[in-house]
Amino acid sequence: MQFTAKQISEFLNGTIVGDEKVLVDRLSKIEDGVPGSLCFLSNPKYENFIYTTGASVIIVAQSFEPTKPVSSTLVKVKDPYSAFSVLLEKYDEVLNSEQHKSGISDLSFVHPSAKIGENVYVGPFCCIEENAVIGNNTKLYAQVFIGAAATLGDNCQINPGVRIYKHSQIGNKVIIHSNTVIGSDGFGFAPQTNGSYSKIAQIGNVIIEDNVEIGANTTIDRATMGSTYVREGVKLDNLIQIAHNVDVGSHTVIAAQTGISGSTKVGSNSVIGGQVGIAGHLNLGKRTQVGAKAGINFNTEENKQWHGSPAQPLKEWMRSTVIFKHLPEVERKLRELEAKVAALNAVIDNIKETE
């Protein structure tokens, strides 16, 4: 499908600089732009490409003023990155015909007591157990498992191989990527006098609120009692572990390979980097920011940045990293000083012996 610069501008509520009739039929990165492609400029580091790209249309900020001639048509918007993400979503809808599928595959199993909404798609080899509820327009792709009495809201996208255990509650407009497991048992074992461990029954569930996206191979454990919560608007990357009774606050984003231990509460609008480890029974304040590979084993206040393991406030961590770089030199100087002190002590000892 082709669109004019004018159509794109109207869709994004932008303004045009250049030929409003120029046509585009694909999206591209600005450095790879060719005639007929649409791209965007958000990061100033890429500004040099706007003068050399072959793209027909470029989305830029309203404040952008070129310092050299630009051959492309510009569409000026408030936030180029957000505007381009909207176009990517629409483009993906056009390309991905599976999003418009409906019906139940003959190769799937749906328990007679399950309630299936309107315009639902259930792909091959799916299993929906007793009393499960699937909301309107929700798509379950191949090999998805929905446990007994689990509920999914409207307009969800559950990708191949996802496992949603019994009694889990999934809100509206939730996207879960392949091989993620929702509602597996929490890691609860009681030590015994003979050195063994006895399993503690995990009788709670997982509640995932609206507009959440969960990456591939992520695991979210059911609560021991009560619920594990992933609040509205949370975005989870791949390969994340959320333990039992954790509460991830609304609109928090967490990068890959992070692990959050049991009963910890993460404040809303927090940003957690990759490979972060967070101990259990903690409270992280709202808008907490944690750098990659950090280790958190204490409560944090609101609006604080933490880096390192064990974690430190950002400014302290930056000073520490400077010192770390100079440790070999510091060690060498310390050894030299020790040798000089030893020599001076030897001289003092000799003087004492001759007195």
Residue type, position 328, single letter: P
Angle at 186 between CA 183 and CA 189, to 5 degrees: 155
100: annotated active-site residue? no
Among candidate residues 244, 251, 307, 326, the one labeled active-site is 244
Please give the Cα distance from 298 to 282 (Å, whole number): 6
Place of tokens 């009788």: 203
Please give the Cα distance from 279 to 177 (Å, whole number): 26
Residues 71-90 as b/e (b if ≥16 CB within 10 A, e otherwise) read: ebbbbbbeebeebbeebeee
- Crossing angle for the helix pair 5-12 and 80-95, to the nearest 10 degrees: 110
283 phi, psi to nearest 5 deg: -125, 115
Radius of gyration (C-alpha) of the chain in whole angstroms: 28
Using alpha carbons, list the distances in angstroms from residue 111 to 134, 136, 287.
Answer: 12, 18, 43
Angle at 179 between CA 176 and CA 183, to 5 degrees: 70
What six digits make up the tokens of 189? Answer: 């074992």
What six digits make up the tokens of 137? Answer: 């327009």
Please give the Cα distance from 129 to 119 (Å, whole number): 19
Place of tokens 């327009």: 137
Helices assigned H by DSSP within 177-296: none
Query: What residues contact 265, with CB distance under 8 A and at least 6 apart?
Result: 246, 247, 249, 282, 283, 284
Known catalytic residues are 244
